[in-house]
């Protein structure tokens, strides 16, 4: 028994935020952003109306319909995001409620693998389906980054990159080939090089060291988020862009080769590669290293920015809608991001 993607959907909010609009809030420019990232615009959800879950639900409804099933047929939910509605519970159960799924026999799993969330989620879904445990797994990757970014010059290297959106897929059993192989990796040594560490049980301390100069009060217990963290602005994502970039370009290529070697295929056999949309320069570097033509790689970061867990399913769905992925094609997904974590999947499209 193999598994396949039986239906896909995506949703991006209507509001287009251009590089010029961002440059009204921070010291940046359209020229810098395009040159360093390839991004021209990104989408932002409607503040206080939309959330990561509501965006995920819009994508999920389309995927469910395209898979030819009803919402009550979904027997397991996997939700990947780094910008959840709540600290807990996770978006999986919120999505179940938002979709109006009343079946309580199902499970809902949240995964926190940031940019590799969809690739990790697909591997989990694949194993559940292959084992015969579930027949209609709903996998969603969604982000509402715009609610958690620093719109001052301090946060510009991170803020200009990210955008909001959601993508979804239904994974079902197939007699055909479907998902051929998945490869997942991690290296926690780099955990803080790309991270959003507050609030957290570290309470301002890391490895016994005071990170922010807060006095260690002699109290029972502590607090995940201190008032000083907010006052001093320690409430935004941090990224060491150069370190991430240098690792990403190496690991993308490695993990794609690993997948191809596993199934005895070559890079020229790839019909469509969907790289996580981290930075157009990273995608272009990987494309060049693999010797792929422009027709063999799909990028949409120019319009949407980096939508983290949503970036692969949005791009996969857009490419499929545009007729760029056909029955029998070899599709390669690959991602690298915070953790660091990275991974790849090869799919024989059916």
Q: Which residue has the tokens 């490419």?
A: 319
Closest CA to 81 of 170, 144, 137, 136: 144
Tokens of 122: 């697909």
Determine which one of 19, 91, 113, 115 is catalytic.
115
Q: Does 241 bind ligand UT7 (CB under 6 A)?
A: yes
- Enumerate residues 33-72 that contact ligand UT7 by CB under 6 A: 33, 36-37
**285: which 2 tokens?**
């570097």
Q: Report yes or no: 69 and 103 within 8 Å, Cβ to Cβ.
A: no
- Distance (Å) of CA 163 to CA 40, 44, 187, 197, 227: 11, 6, 26, 20, 28
Q: Is 185 a catalytic residue?
A: no
Q: From CA 280, how far away is CA 301, in angstroms rounded?
A: 7
| CA 145 – CA 282 distance, rounded (Å) | 21
Write each residue from 138 to 157 as x if it is in contact with ligand UT7 (CB under 6 A), else as -, in one continuous string: ------------------xx
- Does 275 sit near ligand UT7 (CB under 6 A)? no
Q: What are the DSSP calls for 137-192, one per residue?
A: EEEEEEE-GGGG---SGGGHHHHTTB--EEEEEEEEEESS-EEEEEEEEE-GGGGG
Task: From the candidates 145, 183, 276, 317, give the one annotated as an active-site residue.
Answer: 276
115 is catalytic: yes
Can you tell me the distance from the alpha carbon of 137 to that of 123, in angstroms, rounded to the nearest whole number? 11
Stretch binding ligand UT7 (CB under 6 A), from 28-36, 86-94, 102-110, 284-292: 28-36
Q: Which one among 17, 32, 65, 127 touches ligand UT7, defined by CB under 6 A?
A: 32
How far, in Å, CA of 85 to CA of 110, rounded? 12
Give SS3 for 317: helix
Buried b (16+ CB within 10 A) or exposed e, 44-82: bbeeeebbbbbbbbbbbbbbbebbebebebbbbbbbbbb
Element spanning 342, H or E? strand 341-348
Please name which of 72, 60, 78 lies closest in space to residue 8, comparing C-alpha atoms. 60
Q: How far is the CB of 77 from ligand UT7 (least distance, A)?
A: 24
Site string for ligand UT7, 83-122 (x = CB under 6 A): --------------------------------x-------
Catalytic entry in 145, 306, 317, 332: 306
Closest approach of ligand UT7 to the CB of residue 166, in Å:
16
- The contact mask relative to ligand UT7 for 186-225 (x = CB under 6 A, - = no) is ----------------------------------------
Tell whether omega for the bond before 248 is within 30 degrees of 0, i.e. cis: no
User: Is position 91 annotated as part of the catalytic site?
Assistant: no
Q: How far is the CB of 42 from ligand UT7 (least distance, A)?
A: 13
Among 8, 77, 169, 244, binds ligand UT7 (CB under 6 A): 244
> What is the size of the binding site for ligand UT7 (CB under 6 A)?
19
Binding mask 318-337 for ligand UT7 (x = CB under 6 A): -------------------x
* Element housing 344 (H / E): strand 341-348
CB of 256 to ligand UT7, least distance (A): 16
Under the criterion CB under 6 A, does residue 160 sit at the interface with ligand UT7? yes
Q: Which is nearer to ligand UT7, 3 or 341 (CB)?
A: 341
Candidates 40, 83, 279, 345; binder of ligand UT7 (CB under 6 A) is 279
Q: CB of 165: closest distance to ligand UT7 in angstroms? A: 13
Residue from 190, 196, 236, 245 binding ligand UT7 (CB under 6 A): 245
Select the residue interacting with ligand UT7 from 278, 315, 325, 347 (CB under 6 A).
278
Q: Which residues bind ligand UT7 (CB under 6 A)?
A: 28, 32-33, 36-37, 115, 156-157, 160, 241-242, 244-245, 248, 278-279, 282, 306, 337
Catalytically annotated residues: 115, 276, 306
């Amino acid at each position: 028994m193999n598994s396949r993607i039986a239906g896909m959907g995506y949703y991006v909010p209507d509001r287009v935020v251009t590089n010029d609009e961002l440059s009204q809030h921070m010291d940046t420019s359209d020229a810098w952003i395009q040159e360093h990232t390839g991004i021209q615009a990104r989408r932002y959800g409607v503040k206080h109306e939309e959330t990561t879950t509501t965006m995920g639900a819009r994508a999920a409804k389309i995927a469910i319909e395209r898979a030819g099933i009803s919402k009550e047929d979904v027997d397991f939910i996997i939700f990947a995001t780094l910008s959840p509605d709540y600290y807990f519970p996770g978006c999986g159960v919120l999505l179940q409620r938002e979709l109006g799924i009343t079946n309580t026999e199902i499970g809902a799993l949240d995964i926190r693998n940031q940019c590799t969330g969809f690739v990790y989620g697909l591997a989990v879904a694949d194993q559940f389906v292959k084992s015969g445990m579930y027949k209609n797994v709903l996998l969603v990757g969604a982000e509402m980054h715009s609610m958690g970014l620093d719109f001052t010059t301090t946060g510009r290297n991170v803020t200009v990159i990210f955008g909001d959106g959601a993508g979804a897929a239904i994974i079902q059993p197939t007699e055909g080939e479907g998902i051929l192989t998945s490869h997942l990796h991690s290296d926690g040594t780099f955990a803080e090089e790309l991270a959003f560490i507050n609030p957290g049980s570290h309470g301002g301390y890391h490895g016994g060291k005071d990170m922010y100069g807060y006095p260690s009060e002699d109290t029972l217990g502590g607090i995940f988020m201190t008032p000083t963290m907010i006052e001093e602005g320690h409430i935004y994502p941090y990224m060491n862009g150069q370190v991430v970039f240098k690792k990403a370009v190496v690991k993308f290529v490695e993990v794609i080769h690993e997948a191809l070697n596993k199934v005895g295929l070559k890079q020229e056999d790839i019909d469509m590669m969907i790289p996580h949309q981290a930075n157009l320069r990273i995608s272009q570097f990987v494309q060049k290293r693999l010797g792929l033509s422009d027709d063999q790689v799909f990028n949409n970061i120019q319009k949407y920015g980096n939508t983290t867990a949503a970036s692969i399913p949005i791009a996969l769905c857009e490419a499929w809608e545009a007729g760029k992925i056909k029955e029998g094609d070899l599709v390669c997904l690959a991602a690298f991001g915070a953790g660091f974590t990275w991974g790849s999947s090869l799919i024989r499209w059916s």
